[in-house]
Structure 1
Amino acid sequence: MSLSEFDSLIATILVAVFLLAAVLGAVMRETRFCTMGAISDVVYVGDWMRLRQWLLAIGVAMCGFALLARAHWVNPAETIYTMQRVLWLSSIVGGLMFGVGMVLASGCGARNLTRVGGGSLKSLVVLIVMSVAAFATLKGITSVPRARWLESVYVAMPHITLLPEWLAAQGLASVDSLRLVVGLGLGVILIAWGIGGPRSARDRRLLIGGLLVGLCVVAAWALSGHFGEVQEHPETLEHMYATTYTGRIEAFSFVAPVAHVLDWLLFFSDRAKVLTWGAVAVFGMVFGALVQSLVRREFRWQGFADTADLARHLVGAVLMGVGGVVAMGCTVGQGLSAISMLQIGSFISVASIVLGAVIALRVQQWQLERS
């Protein structure tokens, strides 16, 4: 591949990522796709529909990733989530922090991006603060306790930390067979549970949203792992994946990439700072939500109700920024992308995020009842 062909590939991938993320943002806003909202619906009113929507998206993403891996369009060993350590303490602590934070901040990173597209200034503040906290945890002051205290506690494994590899190590079957069977099996179970039960017109709309979100994640894996693969970089001759921040296969995540957007904006004149997969996806999410809000005539400028509301959102933003990096992902990064490839740590992270959210919601409910 020549340098001009490589540059053309980068431009093509970035445009495709932007458009795909725009679809994701529009779908999420149109169908009210929100993990925090799904959990609060269950905790407060016993409505499981949006949780079914989330699980349907996970199931579709799992099936899609299994099929992509089977077709050799994606190499699971070369994804951003691949390692040989289960960072269980980081997953628990980071997940709990993120779960509490997204309740205080009225939604996760993805939800706040779609709200910015609808005119929410409070979500813009949340994203700015979250990006600063995330960047500090990646490279700044909070990166020290992350690396020294949390990531030093782990379970080492002789293989990459994916469920099929672990099952294959137990002698059950080959890795390829297990990846297909387990991925499709768990995926179909989640899809069946998601679409089960009575369905109104609203329910069908939500389920279509879950289906489309799952398909967007699958498309992201294919775009990054297949179409973005470069066998030999024209200058370094290294095998890599075009436009990704790590040079490995990535899908969607919205904590560290928001920090990368801040880094790109602040150091724009530095030629080393270039737009990457995650940063472009952030812009795409906002653009898609903006288009949807304008088409629906729902765009409204929104601010904080009072100083207590501001303080609550600021605390939530910090918790999400720190927790999202510590847990290596958010409700999209871990709750859709990583879990779709059956990453063992993602199950711990997602369970911790849900637990953190439930605790925060119960505390808020108790405070309301007292007042």
Structure 2
Amino acid sequence: MEPADFQQLKSHVLWAAFAASAVFGFITQRTHFCTMGAISDVVNMGSWVRMRMWGMAVGVAMIGFQLMTWLGWIDPTQTIYAPGRIIWLSALVGGALFGFGMVLASGCGSKTLVRIGTGSLKALVVFFVMGFAAFATMRGILAVVRVRTVDQVAFDLPGGSAVPAALSAWAGGDASMLGLLMGLVVGGGLVLWALANAEFRASFNHWLAGAGIGLVIVAMWWISGHLGFVPEHPETLDPVYVATNSGRMEALTFTAPMAYALDWLIHFSDTSKLLTISVVSVAGVVVGAFVQALWERSFRWEGFRDTQDTALHIVGALCMGVGGVTAMGCTVGQGLSGLSTLSLTSMIAVAGIVLGALGGFRLQMWLLERG
């Protein structure tokens, strides 16, 4: 591949990622797709409708990822969710911190970006604080603490953290075929569970959220892992995934990308700071939500109610930034993208997020009773 062709491919990958993330933002705003909202509905109202939306999205993403793996379009070992070292304590503690923080901050990372697109100045503050905390946990003083504490507690799983690969290494057999079968059974089961509810089936928005969000995750895996894969870089001759921060194929996630987006904005004039899938995905979600808000005439400026509201959002943003990096993903990064790979680490992180969210709801109830 010639250097000019490589640059053109990079442009195509970035525009495709931007478009896919804009669709994500549009659908999320239209359907009120929200992991925190889904957990809250179950806990406070006994309603499982939004949780079924989330389950269907995971199921569709899982089937799509495993199908592309079986077809040979993508390499499942080339994701951040694949390494065989299971940092389970980081996933659990980080997930719990993230889940707790998203309740205090009125939504997870993706919801924060969506709310920015609909006019929330509160969400803009959350974005800056969360991005700062994420960067400090990736490369700053909190990174030292993370590496010397929770990251030390781990175990190795032969074959990798993805369940199909681990089972294949243990019992033999074709990992891609096993992954496809597990994807059809587990992912298909989630889809059927969602569709089994009459209230869920009755609304177009429920279908759009479940199928649409799941397909966006599949599209991002294809864009990064297939369209953006170059077997030989024109200069280094090494295989490369174009325009990624991790050097591996990436789908949607929103904790580290917020830090990367801030870094790109701060060092815009530095020619070594290049646009990546992570950065454009952050912008895409905001733009997609903004377009939908204008379309349905729901764009409204929103500010903090009082000092307590401000403090809770700042603390929540700090918890999400630290927790999201520690757990290697958020409700979308581990909850949708990670679970689509059938990663054991992602399952632990999601469990931590749910536990943290429950703790956040308890704190909110205590504050209401105290008030």
Normalising by the smaller structure, the TM-score range is over 0.9
Query: How far apart, CA to CA, are the structure 1 residues paired with 2:284 and 2:111?
Result: 13
Q: Aligned AA for 1:326?
A: T
Q: Does 1:324 align with 2:329?
A: no
What residue is the counterpart of 2:65 in the other structure?
65
Is the 8 Å Cα contact of residues 21 and 285 (structure 2) preserved in structure 1? yes
Work out the CA distance in 2 between the residues paired with 1:324 and 1:285: 18
2:147 alignment counterpart: 147
Within 5 Å, which residues of 2 pair with 1:1-371? 1-171=1-171, 173-199=173-199, 203-371=203-371
Task: Report the residue type matching 1:339 in the other structure.
Answer: L
Q: Secondary structure at the match of 1:33?
A: coil
1:172 deviates by 6.1
Number of residue pairs matched by the alignment: 371
Instruction: Work out whether residues 26 and 285 of structure 1, in 8 Å CA contact, stay in contact via their aligned partners in 2.
Output: yes
- The residue matched to 1:76 in structure 2 has which SS? coil
Could you tell me whether the CA contact under 8 Å between 1:32 and 1:206 is conserved in 2? no
Q: Report the residue type matching 1:208 in the other structure.
A: L
TM-score (norm 2): 0.98
Give ranges in structure 1 of 5+ residues lacking alignment. Answer: none
- 1:32-53 Cα shifts (integer Å, max 9, x gaps): 0000000001111111100000
Paired residue type of 2:318? V
SS, match of residue 247 in structure 1: coil
Report sequence identity in percent. 50
Which residue type is aligned with residue 262 of structure 2? L
CA contact (8 A) 1:49 1:203 kept: no
- 1:200 deviates by 6.2
CA distance in 2, matches of 1:306, 1:289: 26
Aligned-residue offset at 1:202: 6.3
> Partners of 1:40 and 1:202 in 2: how far apart?
21
Q: Which amino acid aligns with 2:71?
A: A
Equivalent pair of 1:100/1:319 in contact (CA under 8 Å): yes
AA aligned opposite 2:142 = T
Q: Which amino acid letter does the alignment assign opposite residue 47 of structure 1?
A: S
CA contact (8 A) 1:252 1:337 kept: yes
* 3-state SS of 1:199 partner: helix
Q: Is the 8 A contact 2:158 2:166 kept in 1?
A: no
Deviation string 1:282-330 (CA, Å, 9 cap, x unpaired) is 0000000111111111111100001100000000000000000000000
Render the CA deviation track for 1:8-58: whole Å, top value 9, x for unaligned.
001111111111111110000000000000000111111110000000000
| Matched residue type, 1:275 | L
Q: Which stretches of structure 1, 4 residues or longer, exceed 3 Å deviation after superposition?
A: 200-204
The letter of the residue matching 1:253 is T
- The unaligned stretches of length 5 or more in structure 2 are none
Q: TM-score scaled to structure 1, two decimals?
A: 0.98
Following superposition, the deviation at residue 81 of structure 1 comes to 2.0
Quick check: 2:201–2:207 contact (8 Å CA) kept in 1? no
CA offset digits 1:151-182 (Å, max 9, x no partner) = 11100123211100222233164312211111
Q: Distance in 2 between matches of 1:242 and 1:60?
A: 25
